[in-house]
């Protein structure tokens, strides 16, 4: 679309010179790069394994096993923790079978219809 809108004189002006590499400039010389210090490249201390206490970097399998057992015991204790009224209601709801749940919903619907019918009877003139 640029060829349609531009003049033929403008085409030759922009691209008449030969191309050059990006970053290369004929006007200014390139600045010299600074060298990285040698001490920044090497580390004087050995690395640590993830999760180690930092004492020697190595951990025994018994430590990991005891930590996993301790975490499992804490999860089990938190799971068996007695909650409040809402927790008890939720536990009772989870214990219901599908038929019991459907019967409870049906009973609530019947009670609602009865209440609506009684209100309509009271309001009739």
Are residues 91 and 81 in contact, defined by beta-carbon separation less than 8 angstroms? no
Q: What is the pLDDT of residue 72?
A: 92
How much of the chain is in helix, strand and coil states, percent to nearest 5? Answer: 55, 0, 45
E strand or H helix at 66: helix 61-79
Q: What is the pLDDT of residue 57?
A: 45
Would you kindly state where each structural domain of the chain is located, as residue ranges? 84-120
Are residues 26 and 18 in contact, defined by beta-carbon separation less than 8 angstroms? no
Are residues 71 and 64 in contact, defined by beta-carbon separation less than 8 angstroms? no
- The three-state DSSP-derived secondary structure of 95-109 is HCCHHHHHHHHHHHH
| Residues of the chain with confidence (pLDDT) below 70 | 1-21, 23-33, 36-48, 51-61, 82, 125
* pLDDT tens-digit readout, 54-90: 555 455 667 888 899 999 998 888 877 767 888 888 8
């Amino acid at each position: 679309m640029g060829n349609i809108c531009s003049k033929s004189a403008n085409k030759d002006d922009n691209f008449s010179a030969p191309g050059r590499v990006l970053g290369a400039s004929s006007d200014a010389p390139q600045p010299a790069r600074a060298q990285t210090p040698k001490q920044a490249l090497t580390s004087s201390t050995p690395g640590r394994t993830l999760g180690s206490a930092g004492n020697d970097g190595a951990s025994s399998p018994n430590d990991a096993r005891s930590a996993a057992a301790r975490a499992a015991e804490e999860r089990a204790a938190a799971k068996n923790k007695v909650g409040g009224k809402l927790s008890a209601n939720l536990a009772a709801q989870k214990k219901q079978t599908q038929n019991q749940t459907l019967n409870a919903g049906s009973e609530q619907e019947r009670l609602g219809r009865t209440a609506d019918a009684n209100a309509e009877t009271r309001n009739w003139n």
